[in-house]
Amino acid sequence: MKGEAFVRLARVTKRYGARTVVDAVSLDIAEGEIVALLGASGCGKTTLLRLIAGLETPDAGEIWIAGERVAADGRNISPPRARGIGFVFQDLALWSHLTVAGNLDFVLSSIGIPKRARKMRIEEALQMGRIEKFADTYPHRMSGGEQQRAAIARALVSHPRLLLLDEPLSSLDADLKANLLAELATMQKALNGTTVHVTHDREEAAAFADRVVMMREGKIERVETVDRTRFANT
């Protein structure tokens, strides 16, 4: 891996009672890299993602983002809103009482972006997600694929340093999933964003990520670099 680590996990551990869900995981992720966490349900990948986001607190180990220690000594030092993160949840978690543009505006207003700048950011995110025509639409009036695009646009509208994806495309058919992943990879490269993507689909991981981290029973089993020549003509 080239360059300094943008995300660094140092022996990160998380327990729920007597069960160790994440077991002394260490991993460095470079700026601009897309890393997939791959494994069966219950292997700890979603918990690890939530630890990076600050939505869970590690019992041991350290988490660093952009050179800042955000968690250590069994506590979160930096809250989620201060970590520069965009998060796309598996259930998307769009706010149903807000339009698509309203969802994006809420994110920007919550981090103190001025109103004029918010309008420009929203237009940019809608264009990136190719959902401009849904700006004034409520989520329940959109198809599954359209909602996926809206959730991705909401995650990207704040120009996050780090994008975290928790199987957000799992309910889509293979063709739509492949198209959205390709578009998302292009968007992230344009923003020079770093991405951690949780999935149980090996082909999805290989098609999207620069490296695939295979997890089992809370531990990293192995790390593989993706051979991009496999996808050059697909």
pLDDT in tens, 150-176: 988 898 898 888 999 998 777 677 777
Q: Is 31 part of a structural domain of the chain?
A: yes
The pLDDT of 40-52, averaged and rounded, is 95
Q: Which of 30, 191, 164, 3 is nearest to 86 (CA)?
A: 164
Q: Is 96 part of a structural domain of the chain?
A: no
Q: Is 51 part of a structural domain of the chain?
A: yes
Other CB atoms closer than 10 Å to residue 101's CB: what's the count?
A: 23
CA dihedral for 92, 175, 223, 40, sign (positive or negative): positive
Q: Which of 43, 54, 27 is nearest to 219 (CA)?
A: 43
Q: Is 10 part of a structural domain of the chain?
A: yes
Q: Which residues of 53-62 are buried (b: 16+ CB within 10 A; e: fewer)?
A: bbbbebbbbb
Count of domains for the chain: 1
- Which has the minimum average pLDDT: 23-37, 163-177, 187-201? 163-177
Share of the chain above pLDDT 90, in %: 62
The pLDDT of 111-130, averaged and rounded, is 90
CATH classification of the domain holding 220: 3.40.50.300
Q: Could you give the CA distance from residue 117 to residue 20 in angstroms, rounded to a whole number?
A: 44
What pLDDT score does 3 carry? 52
Read off the pTM: 0.86
Q: Is 113 part of a structural domain of the chain?
A: no
Q: Is 181 part of a structural domain of the chain?
A: no
Range of the domain at 10: 1-79+195-234
> Is it the case that residue 103 has pLDDT exceeding 70?
yes
Q: Is 53 part of a structural domain of the chain?
A: yes
Q: Could you give the CA distance from residue 103 to residue 67 in angstroms, rounded to a whole number?
A: 30
Q: Is 132 part of a structural domain of the chain?
A: no
Tens-place pLDDT, residues 213-231: 999 999 999 999 987 555 4
- ∠ CA 11-47-4, nearest 5°, is 45
